[in-house]
Amino acid sequence: MTTTTQEKPKASPVLAGGPAPDMFRRLAGMPVVTGKRETMVVHSPLTLEPLGEIPKCTEADVVEAVRRARAAQPAWAARPIRERARVLFEFHKLLFRNEAALLDLIQVESGKARRHAFEEIMDTAGVARHYAVRAERYLKPRRRRGAIPLLTVTHELHHPVGVVGAISPWNFPLILAITDLLPALVAGNAAVLKPDRRGSFTALRAVELLREAGLPPEVLQVVTGEGARLGPPLIAGVDFIMFTGSTATGKTIAAEAAPRLIGYSLELGGKNPLIVLDDVDLDQAVEGALRGSFVGAGQVCVSIERLYVQERIFDAFAERFARATRELKLSAALDWSGDMGSITSESQLHTIELHVQDAVAKGARVLAGGRRRPDIGPLFFEPTVLVHVTPAMTCYAHETFGPVVSLYPYRTVDEVIERANDTPYGLNAAVWGSDVRRAFDVARRIRAGSVNINEGYGATWASTDSPIGGFKESGMGRRHGAEGILKYTEAQTISRQRWLPLSAPGDMPYQRWARIMSWLLNLQARIPGLR
């Protein structure tokens, strides 16, 4: 197996130049607790040193958090939309004013490289700005076509659902804890957030910044602790649930929400393909595939795990891709020197190792990486490229969620589209090609909620005006765009009938009224402006 270039930190990044211990103590006091609670230690994956302790909240704490949020919601919803939007504008500013400290916090809590931590700040700011600017337009009452032109005047209104619950994962502790709540809040909802233990401090710092930006403290509550314990009472108390995580857990959440008939939005697993067409610039395609495959050490719901390359260029691409992968720099330093950071947890590292070991034992070949790197940090694993992966191997169809990508040759476009779609997932995909029309034709045939052309994941993810989400078992609902805010509202139709009723007036025979109505409806069908 091959070796990846490494840079070993001179001192513990947690103790040397990282966030101060008093910050962790301050943030640990933010979750809702109704009594004395046990605590959970949060460790940095970079060194496994403890960062701090968070409360292990109980069902009673969740009930209290929902009660506080529900009590605060009417006054928040009564504020003008522009006033609520100003909070998002100010939050946008605060993210960049606190950029360096936020980058340190994201790095020490998630283990990711600084460049990938910066993507979290950049995306969160983009979502805040988008809904600050567009919320009023998305939510304003709209005039709709009435039952009969001129006689019926109809308006569509959107009211906040009430209290939104959010359960966020560990891999994007800033983005996935906060960006789904920003549209919910500006729509007039209150919220209760349950972040993953491994991203709790970043989530709490984001909530703190929102409060500094002007959000009333009671409007957004936080509970911390075990998801299996806190999830059911949260779903039992809120009016909408937002979840990002595994498909198995998403199905459980849907089942728990169904008896209460509350809405939910789920972004779940993926086994994302990238198709390299035969007309590409190889160097550009290799660079893009690297970024798409190893962002966040591959612990990203939209990162690439399957890479299909046209057979005529397969060997040349594989050689360049493997060489570029071996040149990636692993680093635990709190600076911009690293191309890739650490795996976030021992359990995830164990899964990654098992997938690679299983593939090698069954005949796969490692072109780059393939091993743990304890010389850099306790949870580091080299970015890994596999070939000769078959359906008998676990990593062929199952999501690895790590820096492991499999390369496959293909002959025809029809063949590769069929192979790309041969999965229960449909979250993200990518197509690389010089002929834009041809690449677009391939992209539209892929059964995935977002498909990037000449980019691995960022083009669709950062297009906040357009909805993204999963097909098939990759989820339900959408984030971003109009769908990303309207899902947190109840649509209401108000119609006013004037001059003539929709039933026969006075003593007019109903048959005569029916003839008049038939004539009007046929006239409406013949006049384009009245259809």
User: What digits encode the pLDDT tens for the residues 115-160?
Assistant: 999 999 999 999 999 999 999 999 999 999 998 888 899 999 999 9
Average pLDDT over the chain reads: 95
Burial letters 91-129, b for 16+ CB under 10 A, else e: bbebbeebeeebbbbbbbbbbbbbbbbbbbbebbbbbbb
* pLDDT computed for residue 385 by the predictor: 98
Rounded (5°) CA angle 67-68-72: 115
509: which 2 tokens? 């025979």
* pLDDT computed for residue 17 by the predictor: 72
Global pTM? 0.95
CA 458, CA 456: separation in Å to the nearest integer? 6
pLDDT tier for residue 386 given thresholds of 50, 70 and 90: very high
Q: What is the pLDDT of residues 405-442, one digit of tens each?
A: 999 999 999 999 999 999 999 999 999 999 999 999 99
Task: Say whether domain 59-268+482-489 belongs to CATH 3.40.605.10.
Answer: yes
CA 461, CA 364: separation in Å to the nearest integer? 32
pLDDT tier for residue 8 given thresholds of 50, 70 and 90: very low
Mind telling me the catalytic residues?
267, 301
Q: What is the pLDDT of residues 364-374, one digit of tens each?
A: 999 999 999 99
The segment(s) of the chain belonging to CATH 3.40.605.10 are: 59-268+482-489
Q: What is the pLDDT of residues 273-316, one digit of tens each?
A: 999 999 999 999 999 999 999 999 999 999 999 999 999 999 99
Quick one: three-class SS letters along 451-476?
EEECCCCHHHHCCCCCCECCEECCEE
Rounded (5°) CA angle 472-473-476: 75
* pLDDT computed for residue 16 by the predictor: 63
pLDDT tier for residue 14 given thresholds of 50, 70 and 90: very low
CATH topology classification for 272-470: Aldehyde Dehydrogenase; Chain A, domain 2 (3.40.309)
* pLDDT computed for residue 204 by the predictor: 98
CB atoms < 10 A from the CB of 375, how many? 9
The segment(s) of the chain belonging to CATH 3.40.309.10 are: 272-470
Query: Is 510 in a helix, a strand, or coil?
Result: helix
